[in-house]
Amino acid sequence: MTIGAILHGRVSAVISARPGDTVRAVIDLLAQHRIGAVPVVEGDSIVGIFSERDLVRLMSSYGPEALDRSLDEVMTKSPVTCDSGMAVMGALSQMTQKRIRHLPVVDGGRLVGFVSIGDLVKYRIDRIEAEAAAMRDYIAS
């Protein structure tokens, strides 16, 4: 299965931030939506990502004044991305190797989605459970 299969059926827009947003504003966005990271976009293009890990690093280095910095100063630039045609297992492998928990989905240079490792693991578990149920039904018949 592909990343596109996970994105299929999602109706809400990707929660994102802009490069000029302050860290303080993005923390509020993360808290409001109960998410761990946001892609940073200009138009339809992704220019970075900002995550809880970035916040921890900033607070350690700069203390409370980090909250007034703009994302373009502190975001992770050139984030690892995938396209919607990537296999779920390939994306999981990439996330594990790169030690990241969020993956922007980019098709044709345009941000089309955003998945977390939790999304991918849930999808895999659901598929495994469905396959196990199908096998039980097959054996019982």
Sequence-ordered alpha helix ranges (H) in the chain: 3-7, 23-33, 52-62, 71-74, 88-98, 117-140
State pLDDT tens for residues 93-114: 999 999 999 999 999 999 999 9
Phi-psi region of 95 (alpha: psi -120 to 50; beta: other; left: phi over 0): alpha
17: containing domain: 3-140
Task: Please report the pLDDT score of residue 112 as a whole number.
Answer: 93
Q: Read off the CATH number of the domain in which 27 is found.
A: 3.10.580.10
- Whole-angstrom Cα distance, residue 114 to residue 80? 12
State the pTM of this model: 0.85
Instruction: Specify the number of domains making up the chain.
Output: 1
Mean pLDDT for the stretch of residues 68-82: 94
Write the pLDDT tens digit of every residue in 18-49.
Answer: 999 999 999 999 999 999 999 999 988 999 99
